[in-house]
Structure 1
Amino acid sequence: MFTVAQSAKKVSQIAFLAFVVLLTGCASFGNKVKDTESGYYEAAQTYLDQRNYSLAIERLTDLQSRFPFGRFAQASALDLIYARYQSNDFATALIEADRFTRLNPDYPSVDYAWFLRSMSYYRLFLANRGIFGKVDPAMRSPEQGQKAFFALLEFSDQFPESVYREPALTAMIVLKDALARHELIVADFYIRRGAWVAAAERAQVVIQHYPGVSAEADALVVLTEAYGALELDKDRQITLTRLQTTYPDHAVFASGSYQAPKWAEDRWWVKLLTLGLTS
């Protein structure tokens, strides 16, 4: 037979259990809200705003896995490319951007995917220190630089009104300069072996394909010297006149008249081109 005290205790226990169940239910309900597509996307946006890219990638990946055809599918895919890029995972960003542009050619912000694709090529080139471990991009293998340049060119041509075109053009200038200086580093290699025809060909690449870059003046110096060594006096004079007219302040005119660089002594022009990184 229960006493009044026992009955009260029993009621209290039941009430406590009911309260626990209620809390559990509320928690479960809250988790269900967070597990919605919008919940995942909003959380990812918060992490992106905080520049917490690792958690943003995790949340966006979960979102794409759980809701592959949801209303945030394309937006989250683009955000994921951005998060990869900002995390310096340029290789993955490039792959995902390439896929996005192929699958969503008419997406309103597809120009941003193209931009991130081309910039991923660019950053991969800059990140590659090459077999010599040099910092200067001109000392690296040019293949990646050429891929990056043409990717940026493709983007800028395809989206001439894009707000991202200006930074793309800036990156192209850096690449053109690096690729041009690389040609002159190779030309220097040929000069030291007396291969003047090969050196002239490298200088011509700079002049024809990278006009206006900082290395153009030095390419004209190389070409002037190559024509002289090959006894092509008329071509030498034409090139020298162009050099003096276009770049009158070049170091070869420091004495007031043209003075050929002393290739074997100090390699001053190569050091200038490569920021002093050559030996």
Structure 2
Amino acid sequence: MKRILPFLAAALVLSACGTTPKNPGEENPGASAEEMYREAKQELESGNYNRSVKQFEALQARYPYGRYAQQAELEVAYANYKDQEPELALAAIDRFLKAHPTHPNADYALYLKGLVNFIEDRSLFASLAKQDMSERDPKAARESFEAFRDLVTRYPQSRYAPDARDRMAYLVTALADGELHVARYYYKRGAYLAAANRAKAVIERYSNTDRVETALVVMIAAYDKLGQPELRDDARRVLAQNYPQSKLTPDEIFADGAWWKLW
């Protein structure tokens, strides 16, 4: 029996070696770039995102030049996005845009960059009422807006431009809401100058949204608390000129639980 054990152990080791999964680049060493791309794409479409990334990366390592390698860079970004790896997706997109700024699919790269950041921040804005916006910096929303803006500016006829414009409209309103939440936070804690400055930022940056009315009322209330009658009255005149039918009051804005009933 003692003589059999060493042979049995060796056989088990050999069996284990024979079943070790190969790296994607080793499975078909003679495959062309097109074949490797097709196989990786199939994995991507099947939802095997992590494996598809490895296969696309193996393609890039074996065939670093040509259209398949370039397209593989974008596919890696998309696969990471679908695999809920936004940082990896954004890194892949930035590498692609830096290496191929005039690539025919640069518009898609910009759209994907905006989309990754948009999805990242959508959950933030979807539950604004439950969060303290003074503790959050909507960096992803701003970067999403900038990517979509670059897309529609550089490629106005792109197939992705209409959706990018719709998302920009959502983002600009959401960013204004974020500023107003911070202004409300400061006002309720007696930081009236900070509240006025946040409201002023809404007017300066997001003048094409309907949040300007609310920002003006915040400014009026904050300047009144600061004992700045001239600035308060200036804000009142602007409010009366642009929103003559406005009935919005500070009580509506600053009352607990009333904020999101405004919209």
Q: TM-score, length-normalised on structure 2?
A: 0.73
Superposed displacement of residue 241, structure 1: 0.9
Q: Which residue of 2 aligns with 1:14?
A: none
Residue 133 to residue 198, structure 1, CA distance change in 2 (3 Å): closer
Gaps of 5+ in 1: 1-30, 253-258
Tell me how many residue pairs correspond in the alignment.
Answer: 232
Q: Does residue 73 of structure 2 align to residue 83 of structure 1?
A: no
Amino acid in structure 1 at the alignment position of 2:236: Q
Matched, 1:115 2:111: yes
Change beyond 3 A, Cα 1:57–1:224? same
Please state how far the C-alpha of 1:152 moved relative to its aligned partner: 2.6
Query: Aligned pair in 2 of structure 1 residues 161, 41: CA closer, same or farther (>3 Å)?
Result: same
What code does the residue aligned with 1:261 have?
Answer: D
Counterparts of 2:109 and 2:61, CA distance in 1: 20
Amino acid at match of 1:102: K
What is the DSSP-based 3-state SS (H/G/I as helix, E as strand, rest coil) of the residue aligned with 1:47? helix
Structure 2 counterpart of 1:10: none
How far did 1:272 drift? 3.5
One-letter identity of the residue aligned with 2:150: E
Q: Distance in 1 between matches of 2:250 and 2:240?
A: 14
Residues 260, 89 of structure 1: CA spacing in aligned structure 2 closer, same or farther, 3 A cutoff?
closer
Does residue 212 of structure 1 match 2:208?
yes
1:235 equivalenced with 2:234 (yes/no): yes
Shift of 1:127: 5.8
Query: What amino acid sits opposite 1:154 in the alignment?
Result: D
The sequence identity of aligned pairs, in percent, is 30
- Tell me: CA distance 1:98–1:114, structure 2 relative to 1, closer, same or farther (3 Å): same
Whole-angstrom CA distance in 2 between matches of 1:155 and 1:67: 29
2:57 corresponds to: 61
**Using the alignment, how far apart are the partners of 1:115 and 1:106 within structure 2?**
15
Distance 1:266 1:251, change over 3 A: farther
d(CA) in 1 for partners of 2:90, 2:83: 13
In 2, distance between residues paired with 1:237 and 1:177? 23
How far apart are residue 138 of structure 1 and its match? 8.6
CA, structure 1 residues 71+210, in 2 after alignment: closer, same or farther (shift >3 Å)?
closer
Aligned CA RMSD, in angstroms, stands at: 3.3
Give the 3 Å change call, closer, same or farther, for CA 62–115 of structure 1 in structure 2: same
Q: Distance in 1 between matches of 2:194 and 2:134?
A: 19
- Change beyond 3 A, Cα 1:40–1:128: farther
Distance 1:186 1:228, change over 3 A: same
- Rounded Cα–Cα distance in structure 1 between residues aligned with 2:66 and 2:136: 43
Which letter does structure 1 place at the counterpart of 2:212?
A: E
Q: CA deviation at 1:101?
A: 0.9
Q: Which residue of 2 aligns with 1:226?
A: 222
Please give the alpha-carbon distance, in whole angstroms, between the structure 2 residues aligned to 1:90 and 1:207. 32
C-alpha contact 2:202 2:215 (8 A) present in aligned 1: yes
> The residue matched to 1:237 in structure 2 has which SS?
helix
Map of 1:160 onto structure 2: 156
Give the number of the structure whose alpha-carbon radius of gyration is greater. 1
How far does residue 94 in structure 1 lie from its aligned partner after superposition?
0.8
Structure 1 stretches of at least 4 aligned residues deviating more than 4 Å after TM superposition = 31-34, 132-139, 262-265
1:139 touches 1:182 (CA, 8 Å); kept in 2?
no
Q: Secondary structure at the match of 2:180?
A: helix
* Aligned position for 2:251: 261
Taking the aligned partners of 1:124 and 1:172, their CA distance within structure 2 comes to 15
8 Å CA contact retained: 2:129, 2:260? no
Whole-Å separation in 1 of the counterparts to 2:67 and 2:239:
64
SS of equivalent residue, structure 2 residue 107 = helix
